[in-house]
Amino acid sequence: MKKPTCADTFVIKKTNLRNNYYGLTLSSFPGARHCRPGHFLHIKLPCTEILFRRAMSVAGASSARNEIDIIFKVYGRGTALMAKLRKGDTVNVLGPLGKPFTPPSRKERVVMVAGGVGFPPLMFLAEDLIARGHDPKQIEFFYGGRTRADILKQTRIRNLGVHFHAVTEDGSIGRRGLVTAPVEEFVEAHGPDGIRLYSCGPLPMLKAVNDLGMARGVAGELSLEAPMPCGIGVCLGCVVERVDGGHSRVCMDGPVFDIGEIAL
């Protein structure tokens, strides 16, 4: 991987995506050309109220304009402060960091399983694959949330030409239930051969996708979320247990791992 870039960037666009979700476009980041789906950024906010940077997955990147997009939900003090940023504010960005997704072969049918705020890196992956020539009709994008308000950027995803499947726990949009149910049905209907799974979202969902891949013999990758105070493998705050008995750092060895690699 290229050496990460550390640079001040500027908020050139802020979007309130509803339900405590926000989008930011940051400009003048030289590392944008090296960002790949699955990478994350470490963001230092322009304040003294919090000490550590905040890890954010890359939702999009433009090498031509040196711009990067992030999408986040307000959960705690750090994201609450991020939500108060305005156009023109400066934030320091370190990245890209971590291990990105491995692209599928052109012949593989891609099944993406997104949950909650785990959808941005998968949306970026879908856009990147199509830009590189992957047939959008060979991409199944399953997106789950609690309610309609948790299913974001539908138009942007649908306009890619992929097969979009919305699933909500309350049935307010799409199918009612958990997103992993129709994914399992899809795999059973089409068989495991030629399918590659990609998933990012809540841990219970990742575990279900991991179990499905292991049980059905479907290869794929999972993007894990974990506290990352340093983002460069020093603090060991994001260590997870491996199936082989060892341990891995999500920030350095991941955040993308193979199905069956991590003990979930």
In angstroms, rounded to a whole number, what is the distance separating the alpha carbons of residues 119 and 21? 12
Average pLDDT of the residues in 22-33 = 97
pLDDT at 169: 97
- Provide the pLDDT for residue 224: 97
Length of the chain: 264
Q: What is the distance between the alpha carbons of residues 60 and 220, in angstroms, rounded to a whole number?
A: 21
Looking at the predicted structure, is the pLDDT value of residue 253 above 80? Answer: yes
Which of the four pLDDT bands, split at 50, 70 and 90, describes residue 50? confident
Tell me: the pLDDT tens digits for 219-233? 999 999 998 989 989
Q: What is the pLDDT of residue 92?
A: 96
The reported pLDDT for the residue numbered 49 is: 80
> What pLDDT, on a 0 to 100 scale, did the predictor assign at position 255?
98
Between CA 133 and CA 23 the distance in angstroms is 27
Q: For 96-148, how does the pLDDT look when each residue is reduced to its tens digit (9 = 90+)? A: 999 999 999 989 999 999 998 999 999 999 999 999 999 999 999 999 999 99
Percentage of the chain modeled with pLDDT above 90: 91
Q: Tell me: the pLDDT tens digits for 146-162? A: 999 999 999 999 999 99
Mean pLDDT, rounded, for 42-55: 88
Model pTM score: 0.96
Read off the pLDDT of residues 53-73 as tens digits, 9 standing for 90 and up: 999 999 999 999 999 999 999
Q: Give how far the C-alpha of residue 219 lies from the chain's centroid of Cα atoms, to the nearest Å.
A: 18
Which SS3 state, helix, strand or coil, does residue 47 take? coil
Domains along the sequence of the chain with CATH = 5-97 (2.40.30.10), 109-258 (3.40.50.80)
Q: Which residues of 188-227 are buried (b: 16+ CB within 10 A; e: fewer)?
A: eeeeeeebbbbbbbeeebbebbbebbeeeebebbbbbbee
pLDDT of residue 48: 74
The yes-or-no verdict on residue 1 having pLDDT over 90 is: no
How confident is the model over 152-178, as a mean pLDDT? Answer: 97
Average pLDDT (182-206) is 96
Average pLDDT (186-199) is: 96
- Taking the C-alpha atoms of residue 138 and residue 121, their distance in angstroms, rounded to an integer, is 18
